[in-house]
């Protein structure tokens, strides 16, 4: 479970490897799962980021 950076509601993700953009079920903001494998916090860190309109053109 993660928290939407826009509305701060909980989001349940079924696949933590899927990085394709999706909409928050609460606020309809487009989000993308960002995976950082080269972090000092551990082997892998995941975060949700808001996708802007330019990035959505690629979907």
Q: What is the model's pTM?
A: 0.78
| pLDDT grade for 41, boundaries at 50, 70 and 90 | low
Domain ranges of the chain: 2-56
Q: β-strands 10-11, 22-23: how paired?
A: unpaired
Q: What is the pLDDT of residue 44?
A: 81
Phi-psi region of 57 (alpha: psi -120 to 50; beta: other; left: phi over 0): alpha
Cα-based distances in Å from 50 to 40, 42, 43: 23, 23, 23
- Judged against a pLDDT cut of 60, whether residue 59 lies above it is answered with no
């Amino acid at each position: 479970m993660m928290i939407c950076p826009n509305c701060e509601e909980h989001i349940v993700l079924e696949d933590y490897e899927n990085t394709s953009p999706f909409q928050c079920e609460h606020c309809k903001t487009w989000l993308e799962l960002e995976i950082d494998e080269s972090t000092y916090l551990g082997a892998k860190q995941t975060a949700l980021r808001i996708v802007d309109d330019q990035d959505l053109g690629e979907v």
